[in-house]
Amino acid sequence: MATTNKVEWVKACQVSEVPEDGGACALIKGEQIAIFNFKRRGQFFATQNLCPHKKQMALSRGMIGSAGDEPKVACPFHKKTFSLESGACLSGDDYTIKTYPVKVVNEEIFVEA
């Protein structure tokens, strides 16, 4: 019998805990998740916090911006950039990061995990 992982919305933090046009880290189900408040776009994003390039828990401290219409985050150490929507590496390298759906309800941020 196959088992399925139950997906649920988990409260990550308050909106006020994530700096505008920046990120913060939340521990969700034992995993560090980077939460981004992309104020300029009016959107929140969530990804794994681990940068796959040098295996550092750093993405929540990265700079966010856009590559055309694609929202992205750049690792603060080696500047590898990743799509906040798909997780694809935008630096031309063969890395990806996990992304998570996000919703905001009553000034609380929830991540689907």
Contact 76, 64 (CB under 8 A): no
Q: Say which residues have a Cβ less than 8 Å from residue 46's Cβ, sequence separation at least 6.
A: 12, 33, 34, 35, 36, 99, 100, 101, 102, 111
Q: Which CATH architecture describes the domain 18-112?
A: 3-layer Sandwich (2.102)
What are the average pLDDT values for consecutive 10-residue runs of the chain, which has 113 residues? 74 98 97 97 97 95 96 95 97 95 98 95
pTM, whole model, 2 decimals?
A: 0.92
Using an 8 Å Cβ cutoff, are 73 and 62 in contact? yes
Query: Burial of 22 by CB count in 10 Å (0-12 exposed, 13-18 middle, 19+ buried)?
Result: middle
